[in-house]
Chains A and B, each alone.
Chain A
Amino acid sequence: MAAQIHEAHRHTEHRIWDPDAETLPRDGIEALQVERLRELVTRVARVPFYRDHFAHREIGPHSIRSLADIRRLPLTTKDDLRRQQPLGFLAVPRKDLARIHGSSGTTGRPTFVAYTARDLETWSNLCARFLVAGGLRPEHTAQVAFGYGLFTGGFGLHYGIERVGAAIIPAAAGNTRRQIEIMRDLDPEVLICTPSYALTIADSARELGIDPRSLPIRFGHFGGEPWTEDMRREIEDQLDIAAFNNYGLSEVIGPGVSGECPERTGMHIQEDHFLVECLDPETLEPVPEGEPGELVITTLTREAMPLIRYRTRDIARLYREPCACGRRTTRMSRVTGRTDDMLIIRGVNVFPSQIEEALLRVEGTTPHYLIEVSRPGTLDEVHVKVEIRPEIFSDRMDRMQALCERISREINTVAGIRAHVDLVEPRSIERFLGKAKRVLDRRNLNE
């Protein structure tokens, strides 16, 4: 899993933003986690979902004596959040909120996440930690090519950079040519975006006749979608930079749950704020250290919307041996899969059920369809194959093209992505006994 450090970063010294917290010895980390977990149990009792559960089982702060006691607490799922929409998990009065973000939801409606002023403070600090671990210094300029909006990526990283004291170019997502012009004009050393967008920038530079290696960027912090070591090598070779991975999800805070140091032997989990379990998704028992399992996260310090044992559906491995960088925190591998069928398409969360919902709006397009995801160049591409049926077939070409456009529009409305619609001949999509296979992901995102 350890990746050869890129030439550009070989001599980067280890620096730690928050040494008191980040280099706590194991027993110190665990003692802090138990203490914060006990406080958390008191605080979440303001949330009806948890209050009901605790009352039923006589759970209270007294139930938490060691970290192992976390298993007495209930799991929380995305469905639980959705059922309480919106803001049903607030543990503070509404007047105490400072910001609300959202993640794309399965019905095109976002799941909202609220923050108090102190949550925002914590979040900035967490982003600062992984940014500094991955080389950001106050004298640097960072170009943020993440979307600024409900999505947590843009604002999360923005305030993290500000906290470090570096200069920010809030370029936001899109308009790749302009991103390149900005880089050439302003000489930022750091690029913040999704890994696939980094490759798009390289492609676009070449199209403009610019050698992407000549761009001023020296390293990048990439996240928001799953990627591989191969992709890291591509990004580093094409742009001549060092590429660092970070992890987070909006439900628990956004980016800042974990991030890499120059050792790049996994992402350091910010364990003073998140208690991360790695469970077998079937049995919900902990997997042995180093084995893949579902990450289940408890937010130890979130005020506005604390979550207990949130099932991320992300599959990764945990490592607890000390890292050469001096941090003693548990590290996590890249996310290598999902326990549900969620796809991340160009940074947008998409569930196959959303595509089905879109197809259901166009009569006669179900039941036989297949979602094919590929990454032919640097960006994800989605093809939705729909078997032709007598009720949607017309001898007129204009009607057939209108049908394709209509399906594509519905998918865009429901799932927020652009998909190519391929009409295919009857019986050309494989039939399955039992549950149909609806998704063919050709991107090879597993390590």
Chain B
Amino acid sequence: MKLQQLSLFLENRPGRLGAPLETIAKAGINILTLSLADTAQFGILRLIVREWDKAKQVLEDAGWVVNLTEVVAVDVLDRPGGLAEALAVLEGAGLNIEYMYAFSVRRGDKAILIFRFEDPDRAIAVLLEKGLHVVDGDELLSVVSA
């Protein structure tokens, strides 16, 4: 049920984002979605790719420090209030969201969000119990490639 997310450390200066993306592109790996968190001084690039183990390898070979984190994909209704309802469930269950970002593709009338929880397994259990739809990794990847 969990997705593997790659995180990379980047210095916050011109041209730094392009370099790792080029490394991945050269290896023929397509980026499904990404998010960038930054301060004035450095940034953290988070990537979801299909062949995460290969991507991790090529990035590390190119000298990047790469972390692997388990994240959870949840689809919510793509209409006003859709996300707010999902968040209300999470908050109600006392689940701590470290950060979140949206997936770049929609699935029918659903938007897909990526959540980084402190405890992803417990989060999944709660989400399922509350009737939210957790998108399985394979399922997600088949959606994007379709």
Q: Measured between C-beta atoms, what is the minimum distance from B84 to chain A in Å?
A: 23
Q: Measured between C-beta atoms, what is the minimum distance from A114 to chain B in Å?
A: 45
A428 an interface residue at 8 Å Cβ cutoff?
yes
What residues of chain B lie closer than 8 Å to A83, measured between beta carbons?
Answer: none
What residues of chain B lie closer than 8 Å to A401, measured between beta carbons?
Answer: 39
Count class of interface residues, chain B? 20 to 34
What residues of chain A lie closer than 8 Å to B64, measured between beta carbons?
Answer: 425-426
A428–B11 CB distance below 8 A:
yes
Q: Mark B36-61, 1 if CB is under 8 A from A, else 0.
A: 01010110101000000000000000
Given A390-B65, A396-B99, decide whether A425 and B9 contact each other with a Cβ distance below 8 A: yes
What residues of chain B lie closer than 8 Å to A424, measured between beta carbons?
Answer: 11, 42
Taken together as a complex, chains A and B put the C-alpha atoms of A424 and B69 apart, in Å, by: 21
Q: Measured between C-beta atoms, what is the minimum distance from B21 to chain A in Å?
A: 15
A376-393: which have CB < 8 Å to B? 388-390, 393
Provide the main secondary structure of the chain B interface: strand
Q: Measured between C-beta atoms, what is the minimum distance from B56 to chain A in Å?
A: 11
A57 an interface residue at 8 Å Cβ cutoff?
no
B139 an interface residue at 8 Å Cβ cutoff?
no
A394 an interface residue at 8 Å Cβ cutoff?
yes
Q: Measured between C-beta atoms, what is the minimum distance from B89 to chain A in Å?
A: 23
| CB nearest to B43 among chain A residues | A397
B67 an interface residue at 8 Å Cβ cutoff?
yes
A30 an interface residue at 8 Å Cβ cutoff?
no
B64-91: which have CB < 8 Å to A? 64-67, 69
A385-426: which have CB < 8 Å to B? 388-390, 393-397, 400-401, 422-426
Q: Measured between C-beta atoms, what is the minimum distance from A404 to chain B in Å?
A: 8
B65–A423 CB distance below 8 A:
no
| CB nearest to A427 among chain B residues | B63
| CB nearest to B69 among chain A residues | A395
A395–B10 CB distance below 8 A:
no
Point out the residue from A395, A425, A426 that lies within 8 Å of B67, measured CB to CB.
A395
Q: Measured between C-beta atoms, what is the minimum distance from B8 to chain A in Å?
A: 9
What residues of chain B lie closer than 8 Å to A394, measured between beta carbons?
Answer: 7, 67
A341-399: which have CB < 8 Å to B? 388-390, 393-397
Taken together as a complex, chains A and B put the C-alpha atoms of A397 and B100 apart, in Å, by: 12
Taken together as a complex, chains A and B put the C-alpha atoms of A67 and B17 apart, in Å, by: 67
A423–B9 CB distance below 8 A:
yes
B65–A397 CB distance below 8 A:
no
B116 an interface residue at 8 Å Cβ cutoff?
yes
Q: Measured between C-beta atoms, what is the minimum distance from A428 to chain B in Å?
A: 7
Point out the residue from A389, A395, A397, A425 that lies within 8 Å of B11, measured CB to CB.
A425
What residues of chain A lie closer than 8 Å to B5, measured between beta carbons?
Answer: 395
B1-49: which have CB < 8 Å to A? 5, 7, 9-11, 16, 37, 39, 41-42, 44, 46
B98 an interface residue at 8 Å Cβ cutoff?
yes
Max chain B Cβ within 10 angstroms of own Cβ: one of A400, A425, A426, A428: A425
A396–B9 CB distance below 8 A:
no
Taken together as a complex, chains A and B put the C-alpha atoms of A393 and B63 apart, in Å, by: 14
Q: Measured between C-beta atoms, what is the minimum distance from A243 to chain B in Å?
A: 36
Q: Measured between C-beta atoms, what is the minimum distance from A429 to chain B in Å?
A: 12
Point out the residue from B11, B44, B66 that lies within 8 Å of A400, measured CB to CB.
B44
Point out the residue from A393, A423, A426 that lies within 8 Å of B7, measured CB to CB.
A393
Taken together as a complex, chains A and B put the C-alpha atoms of A88 and B131 apart, in Å, by: 75
Taken together as a complex, chains A and B put the C-alpha atoms of A53 and B2 apart, in Å, by: 72
Taken together as a complex, chains A and B put the C-alpha atoms of A363 and B10 apart, in Å, by: 20
What residues of chain A lie closer than 8 Å to B7, measured between beta carbons?
Answer: 393-395
A388–B9 CB distance below 8 A:
yes
What residues of chain B lie closer than 8 Å to A422, measured between beta carbons?
Answer: 41-42
B63–A426 CB distance below 8 A:
yes
Q: Measured between C-beta atoms, what is the minimum distance from B114 to chain A in Å?
A: 12
Taken together as a complex, chains A and B put the C-alpha atoms of A173 and B65 apart, in Å, by: 44
- Given A390-B67, A397-B39, 6 extra CB contacts under 8 A: A394-B7, A395-B46, A397-B44, A422-B42, A425-B10, A425-B11
Chain B residues within 8 Å of A, Cβ to Cβ? 5, 7, 9-11, 16, 37, 39, 41-42, 44, 46, 63-67, 69, 98-99, 116
- Ranked 9 nearest A-B pairs via Cβ: A395-B7, A388-B9, A395-B69, A397-B37, A393-B65, A388-B65, A395-B67, A425-B11, A393-B9
